[in-house]
Amino acid sequence: MHRFRYQGDVLFVEEVSTAVLAEKYGTPLYVYSAGTVLDHYDRLVASLRALDPLVCYAVKANSNLALLRLLAARGSGFDLVSGGELYRVLQAGGDPARCTFAGVGKTDREIEEALEAGIYSFIVESREELSAINRAAVRLRKKAPVALRVNPDVGARTHAKIKTGVAESKFGIPAEEIEEVYRELPRFSHLRLRGMQIHIGSQIRDVEPFAEAVGRVIPLVAMARDRFGAEFFDIGGGLGIAYEEALQSGDPGWWESKTGWATPARYAQRLLPLLSPLGLRTIVEPGRLLVGNAGILLTRVLYRKDGPSRKFVIVDAGMNDLIRPALYGSFHQIVPVIRRGGDPIEADVVGPVCESGDRFAESRRMPPVTAGDLLAIFSAGAYGFSMASQYNSRPRPAEVLVEGAKHRLIRRRESYEDLVRGEPGAEEEPGGPQGERTPKESHELANG
Ligand SMILES: *Cc1c(COP(=O)(O)O)cnc(C)c1O
């Protein structure tokens, strides 16, 4: 349940007016509610309590250090998919012993970094990767904890680009091959099979695909437990959030009415009878569920343009800031920061980027807006900033965290200098990042 609500006609996040935030920090602006993130985390942990749960937040959904710190302090672990994410988690004071490391293309360097850091488990996605991790473990004289990611071949009803548990996808090891892998495992002197994992996709709103996948893989998990002493079953992330009625979903009654939806409670209730008999620790890897509805993107209307067949509302945020509508055709609810009366309009909400796909909403019925008005794009906390780019040489937006009546900048707005950083010949900001360079790099820069 999120904490974005109108007080009178002004949209508030927790106890802070979003209009005040837009004035203070400028737009486009990502705004996150700390209370919402923690509420989602607590609900998930509470609902899975009987299963000795470890929640590993999927860092790729939103990797801002302040959010990682918030979750680390609450006891969260982290699900990583790159060396860069491990670096972020360590910077944020996260515990590597509560981290899993998934991904189909881990490099030797990333594997070594994760081994040195002492992560809880690698999530292995192919048989060749097993060899690579074993080799790295031999080099570092360590025993590498691994889990096999099983592709259960379950089709969850979600967008094709975020479906990961079907046979055609690149993820995991096909269920039919797992027993063969079990037979090969003893050959790897420096591996220890610590667990098993599945992750069937993202934005899944129905409990059944999870239950189907878990049910299909349980016999293999039991085998791993009995033969190799595996201690956990990681059932992945993927729980969906509200997009269409995102504002309304802040109300607990809204969730009660959506009986077909996989809330943490319903998810746990359905999976508990399947998982309890295993007697293993359960890991979940939620990304979107924790942060998706905990963030909005504030944007200001620059122009109205009423074309012959369509009306356009042109805003100062673009697809570089929030790519989901352009990439997945996804829906985001858009509401005014200050509600006013007047006849609704039907318009496309578009950004300034030179692409027709730079559109946040198509033929959307919305309250009348004029240049200068502020809009809030909902459900932008997950896969928002973390997928942002500088396309069209647009500095990435600032990010702000709200906790009760307090708000603070957790990432400053990028500058033009940020756009050219690292490119030879770029002018440096005074007191810029000179100190971060090795002498050799400085020499190369100075000498073109
Ligand atoms: C992306 C990802 C997640 C998180 O998915 P959500 O839909 O955001 O919960 C979890 N585990 C793995 C391996 C992932 O790649």
pTM score of the predicted model: 0.94
99 in catalytic set: no
Distance 205 CA to ligand 1 centre (A): 14
Which of 57, 60, 387, when mutated, tests ligand 1's pocket best, judged by the most ligand atoms within 8 Å of its CB?
60
Dist CA 246 CA 324 (whole Å): 15
Q: What separation in Å is there between the alpha carbon of 90 and the centre of ligand 1?
A: 20
Q: Residue 444: what pLDDT?
A: 53
Average pLDDT over residues 267-279: 97
Q: Three-state SS across 298-309?
A: EEEEEEEEECCC
Whether the pLDDT of residue 124 is over 80: the answer is yes
Q: Which residues contact 249 (CB under 8 A, 6 or more apart)?
A: 1, 2, 241, 242, 255, 293
| Choice from 202, 267, 330 to test ligand 1 binding pocket (greatest atom count within 8 A of CB) | 202
Task: Give which of 285, 291, 163, 270 is closest to 234, Cα–Cα.
Answer: 285
**What is the atom index within ligand 1 of the atom nearest the CA of 382?**
8
What is the predicted pLDDT for the residue at 429? 60
pLDDT of residue 342: 93
- CA angle (323 as vertex; 210, 328 as ends), nearest 5: 45
Is residue 23 pLDDT above 70, yes or no? yes
Residue range 339-353, pLDDT digits in tens = 999 999 999 999 999
Question: 52-84: per-residue pLDDT in tens?
Answer: 999 999 999 999 999 999 999 999 999 999 999
> How many angstroms is it from 199 CA to the middle of ligand 1?
7
238 Rama class: left (phi>0) / alpha (psi -120 to 50) / beta = left
Q: If you measure from the C-alpha of residue 434 to the centroid of ligand 1, how many angstroms do you get, rounded to a whole number?
A: 37
Q: How far is the CA of 243 from the centre of ligand 1 (A)?
A: 18
Report the share of the chain in percent with pLDDT over 70. Answer: 94
Q: Which is it for strands 16-17 and 374-377: parallel, antiparallel or unpaired?
A: unpaired
Residue 409 half-sphere exposure toward CB, CA atoms < 13 A: 11
pLDDT value, residue 156: 64
Lowest mean pLDDT among 160-174, 222-236, 354-368: 160-174
Q: Which atom of ligand 1 is found nearest the CA of 238?
A: 7
CB atoms within 10 A of CB 306: 10
Domains of the chain, earliest start first: 35-286 (3.20.20.10), 294-420 (2.40.37.10)
Cβ density class 362-401: b for 16+ within 10 Å, e for less: eebebbebeeebbbbbbbbbbbbbbbbeeeeebbbbbbbb
135-142: average pLDDT:
98
Indicate the top mutation candidate among 199, 203, 328 to test ligand 1's pocket, ranked by most ligand atoms within 8 A of CB.
199
Ligand 1 lining (C-beta closer than 6 Å) = 58, 60-61, 79, 81, 102, 199, 202, 236-239, 285-289, 382
The residue-averaged pLDDT of 321-325 equals 98
* Main-chain dihedrals φ then ψ at residue 216, nearest 5 degrees: -70, -30
